[in-house]
Chain A
Amino acid sequence: RETQTRMDSYYHFS
């Protein structure tokens, strides 16, 4: 099964 990742797992709020 594939899971959709989210943007905030790669980049952080500045």
Chain B
Amino acid sequence: MLELRLVQGSLLKKVLDAIKDLVTDANFDCSESGFSLQAMDSSHVALVALLLRSDGFEHYRCDRNLSMGMNLTNMSKMLKCAGNDDIITIKADDGGDSVTFMFESPSQDKVSDFEMKLMDIDSEHLGIPETEYHAIVKMPSAEFARICRDLSTIGDTVVISVSKDGVKFSTSGDIGSANVVCRQNNSVDNKDNETVIEMNEPVSLTFALRYLNSFTKATTLSNTVTLSMSKELPVVVEYKIAEIGHIRFYLAPKIED
């Protein structure tokens, strides 16, 4: 049997908001180490990998590895019924065909349970090896979201170039073109406002803004975002989830014919 109690239930609500438009159905995998998910969008251009480590839950019981297929639209509907301050407990029986979400108000005066039917989903996991990336940019997540949103009003794709001068986001479209350069800065009072660039080699890659904009729905999960890039590899856009894990989005680049 499975019983996972997450005191900060709003994290799960935010995770669903961040991925439900990218992925329709997904298997949530539960093991001793944590609650995780790996899924691709329908066109196999983007991949999302979520990890909520077991030690981030107040109570974590998972007797044996369990993979639960869920429709994320339906899961999101149910989690929307939880208050932002609610404690969320996920419960399932081994081999059962449903999962129960229990919501408790902080003062324990209201308890709800919502049972959702599980579905069979062919589990296809991509093996993603640990990689040394050529360039890693850490920047405020709101700034990254702003840049993606602004540039998508001009063009459909963005060229992200990392050099010793900074990280440059460039686009062009019918009405004109735009470049945004963020330089490394060190914020004394607030680390979350820093832009930090670690670069072994300059990198320049082209991506569809539509997907990057979708990833920025995770902005509410973290004040900072990390972009890891290497030549001829998908970019990794990572949002840390405080004390408990991360959500990583991988996006395959566009290449010149």
Contact = CB atoms under 8 A, between A and B. Distances in A.
Contacts of A6: 43-45, 252
Interface in A1-14: 1-14
Contacts of A2: 157, 206, 254-257
A4 to B, nearest CB: 5
Contact of B208 (A4, A11, A12, A14): A4
Q: How large is the interface on B (under 10, 10 to 19, 20 to 34, 35 or more residues)?
A: 20 to 34
B174 interface: no
Interface stretch (B12-20, B125-133, B185-193): B125-133
Given A10-B233, A12-B126, A12-B127, 9 more contacts: A2-B256, A4-B254, A5-B252, A5-B254, A7-B126, A8-B44, A11-B126, A11-B234, A13-B124
B26 interface: no
Nearest to A6: B44
B88 interface: no
Interface of B: 40, 43-47, 124-129, 157, 206, 208, 233-234, 250, 252-257
Contact of A4 (B45, B47, B125): B45
A9 B252 contact: yes
Residue among A1, A4, A8, A9 having the largest count of chain B Cβ atoms under 10 Å = A4
A7 B125 contact: no
B45 A7 contact: yes
A12 B206 CA distance: 22
